[in-house]
Structure 1
Amino acid sequence: MRKISVIGIGAGDPDQLTVQAVEALRRVDVFFLLDKGAEKADLAEARHAILRRYLGDGRSGPGRPRHRLVTLHDPERDRAADGAGYPGAVADWRARRAAGFERAFLDELGEDGTGAFLVWGDPSLYDSTLAVLDEVLARGAVRFDHEVIPGISSVSALAARHRTGLTRVGAPVQITTGRRLAEGWPDGVDDVVVMLDAQQSFLRHLAEDPVIFWGAYVGTADEILVSGRLSEVAGRIEELRAEARARKGWIMDTYLLRREP
């Protein structure tokens, strides 16, 4: 039976790959890479750099044939959809992704082959790959087994780079999205990690003036870090974020908000 490995590759630093991830790379026959367009070409190059570093000439062992790279078109998601229309837009995007995965598995991966997706950060945290694979299996046209290799998430990397913990004594931390933070501070928690925040929802909480630990492109050569009272650093974060997005064409940032209980 076909096998698919979903390999977490960390937040950006090639040194963050675990030994388990490197061993998994060496078992792969076909790497499936998603083409997100020229704007995010450096994300694809980061994956190529990881493969060059850990697989060298592409041979995963004595006598093994060279691995292949198969690039898949990543369908566009309706990013204008909001409110009640958001779940439907995501479901439609995942369905089109699943159709593309299914065709690729049938056309590019032998029945006893091993394919892999290299997932930024950790596959369990706000990544669609596992849900899409479940949808491929539910379609019933192709059978495969799959495994998940955990990776260092941007959340863990952010806390490490700021030399802070995610939790305080006896207190919880909540991981959420910018979309949800815009609706209000989560009940029952004083420490909130925010991902996928295209609208800079932290600006809605200036009056509460929590401490923010913010990072963009964490773990890469382009890493930017800012921390301090939100009222004092929010403007600086806005400026840095705008400059970085204009320079690179995209931005990937995460932050921890911490208020006094």
Structure 2
Amino acid sequence: MGIFLVALISGLTFQQSIEVDIKIVCINAGYCTSSAVCNVSIFAPDQTTLLDGIQATQAASLAFYNVTLNSTQTVQIGEYSVGGFCKDGSVTQLIDFSFDVTPTGKVLTTGDSILTTVLTVGVFFMFLFTFWGGLVLPFKNKRNDASEIIEIEKLKYFKIVLLTLSYTLLVWLSNLLFTLSISFSLLSQMTGFFQMTFEILLAFSYVVFVVTIIFMFVLGWRDLKLRELLLRGLPAR
């Protein structure tokens, strides 16, 4: 029996949560015959068995075999392992390669990684600046010793805008960190955490924006009434 260890092409990258078609080339002094059989197993990044020794489907051209993962089997981000064998008569060909799954179906190049890193640092400092500004700016209207409102604090609206902007930047920052964690082994163990954080923040962002708009509308209406009282010289509390 002849045994050949095949080094199939690795470095394939597919998009997360889509159907993936894996093609396996069987070689036996040319393409394998129609009687050849390929059994394949595929393991997720956490070593969960997705396909366990299933028989791959041979193409009509005999040029390759294929197995398919559905969209629910490609949810995890990371490196998937493929193993098994193809047997054609007395020849057995071992299968051993891997492929990657990323959110976009692409792997960051060195230039993209540098640009994303610089952007992440920039967004981080922008987040700190807007969050700090939102905290330190005044919100309450100015009062006299009798606790009567004497002036409407207009900076309160800028305070709200800065805090809302800081939340938007935080969502963006979590997405950038998620992207970087896929490409840098130092952050790879945090990929799941960054992904979950981004998805939670993104889901709440719609609520934050709606609540902010309603709050500013109510606040503006209230300040308009206060302004009318102040213009008439009436006390306002």
| TM-score when normalising by structure 1 | 0.26
Structure number having the greater helix percentage: 2
CA radius of gyration, larger in: 2
| TM-score when normalising by structure 2 | 0.28
